[in-house]
Amino acid sequence: MSISSYSERPGAGIDKTEGLSVPWSRPRPKRAGVSARAVSAVTILAVLAAWALSARLQLVSPVFLPSPAAVWSKFLSVAQNGFVDATLLQHVTASLARVFAALVAAILVGVPVGLAIGISTVGRGIFDPLLEFLRPIPPLAYLPLIIIWFGIGEPSKILVIAIAMLAPVALSTAAGVRGVSKERISAARSLGATRIQLVRHVILPSALPSILTGLRIALGAGWSTLVAAELVAATRGLGFMIQSAAQFLVTDVVVMGILVIAIIAFGLEFIIRRIERRLVPWAGRE
């Protein structure tokens, strides 16, 4: 058989580019992606427009739902003249101090507890049942007991918020520890790393993304508990301001306080995400 017989096989003269010209192989034009921020902005504007329209048409009584203009006017008034013997800045400062003090306490207790649950079988047996018992209990359920034990001062308020933050921090830390790659641990042990060095240089850095996620969840739990904590003998704070306004049906102050809490929580969430990108840029890319 001659060489030409191989070159003259069926389909040899067909252009390869034409052979690949099928509908599913043709390059499709890239569609412009929709930005999540743009969708979020449109959603917020739509909610504000619906709120303003319902207030303008008086679909709901202003006693129950004040207009955005009334809430903004009250915001300026409270910021300048104050409400219940304190300015808005003083209320915000008092609430932030309680939330951050509780967050520090939750980190100092929750991270070691999470490490113990993730590393040690004994630690898991001791702390896991306690956290699972404490986690579903709402703060208002154990608030009276905290008042009986610790009084009505600032420590009881901070303790209630810290207890609400403890479970998310500890459980997220434990989940991060359990997710550490066994290859990294084996490599560190083969290099002669001690148990403390293993925790410090391998386990904690690997679990840091989960810990930061736990902090974000804990902040949400802390802000939701703040209103309940400031019910007890508080003279300043956003939760105290909201409760005082609700007693006298000052709805615009109530709505304004809720929006201030939401804006602060959103700002803290944004800061933690920036910290996460800075400290653990590899998270989600492994």
Place of tokens 């009250």: 74
Q: Tell me the C-alpha distance between 181 and 173, whole Å.
A: 15
Q: Tell me the C-alpha distance between 74 and 51, whole Å.
A: 17
- Determine, yes or no, domain membership for 39: no
Over residues 181-204, the pLDDT tens digits come to: 788 888 888 888 788 888 888 888
Helix (H) / strand (E) containing 139: helix 139-150
The phi and psi torsions of 249 (rounded to 5 degrees) equal 55, 35
- Nearest Cα neighbor of 164 from 126, 239, 110 is 110
- Token readout for 19 is 């052979």
3-state secondary structure 190-243: HCCCCHHHHHHHHHHHHHHHHHHHHHHHHHHHHHHHHHHHCCCCCCCCHHHHHH
Which residues does 68 contact at the CB level (< 8 Å), separation at least 6? 48, 51, 52, 55
pLDDT band at 15 (very low <50, low <70, confident <90, very high): very low
How distant is the alpha carbon of residue 250 from its chain centre? 30
Lowest mean pLDDT among 95-109, 156-170, 264-278: 264-278
Q: Report whether 231 contacts 107 (CB < 8 A).
A: no
- Nearest Cα neighbor of 180 from 211, 154, 149, 156 is 211
- Determine, yes or no, domain membership for 69: yes
Signed CA dihedral, 220, 222, 225, 230: sign only: negative
Query: Taking the model in full, what pTM does it have?
Result: 0.76
Q: Report whether 52 contacts 199 (CB < 8 A).
A: no
Domain range for 233 is 44-51+60-279
- Token readout for 65 is 């739902």
Q: For the domain that residue 203 is a member of, what is the CATH number?
A: 1.10.3720.10
Number of domains present in the structure of the chain: 1
- Determine, yes or no, domain membership for 4: no
CA-to-CA separations, 279 to 114, 165, 207, 275, in angstroms, rounded: 20, 22, 12, 6
- Nearest Cα neighbor of 236 from 71, 24, 84, 46 is 84
- Determine, yes or no, domain membership for 158: yes
Amino acid at 83: F
- Determine, yes or no, domain membership for 23: no
Mean pLDDT of 271-280: 83
Over residues 216-249, the pLDDT tens digits come to: 899 888 888 888 888 777 788 888 898 888 888 8
For the cut 70, the answer to whether the pLDDT of residue 285 exceeds it is no
Lowest mean pLDDT among 5-9, 119-123, 139-143, 181-185: 5-9
pLDDT band at 31 (very low <50, low <70, confident <90, very high): low
Q: Report whether 161 contacts 226 (CB < 8 A).
A: yes
Bigger pLDDT: 282 vs 121: 121
For the cut 90, the answer to whether the pLDDT of residue 109 exceeds it is yes
For the cut 80, the answer to whether the pLDDT of residue 284 exceeds it is no
pLDDT band at 29 (very low <50, low <70, confident <90, very high): low
Q: Tell me the C-alpha distance between 251 and 245, whole Å.
A: 7
- Determine, yes or no, domain membership for 237: yes
pLDDT band at 286 (very low <50, low <70, confident <90, very high): low
pLDDT of residue 97: 92
- Determine, yes or no, domain membership for 85: yes
- Determine, yes or no, domain membership for 97: yes
Q: How many CB atoms lie within 10 A of CB 181?
A: 11
Q: Tell me the C-alpha distance between 63 and 250, whole Å.
A: 8
In which region does residue 85 sit, left (phi positive, over 0), alpha (psi from -120 to 50) or beta (all else)?
Answer: left
Q: What is the mean pLDDT of the chain?
A: 81
For the cut 80, the answer to whether the pLDDT of residue 45 exceeds it is yes
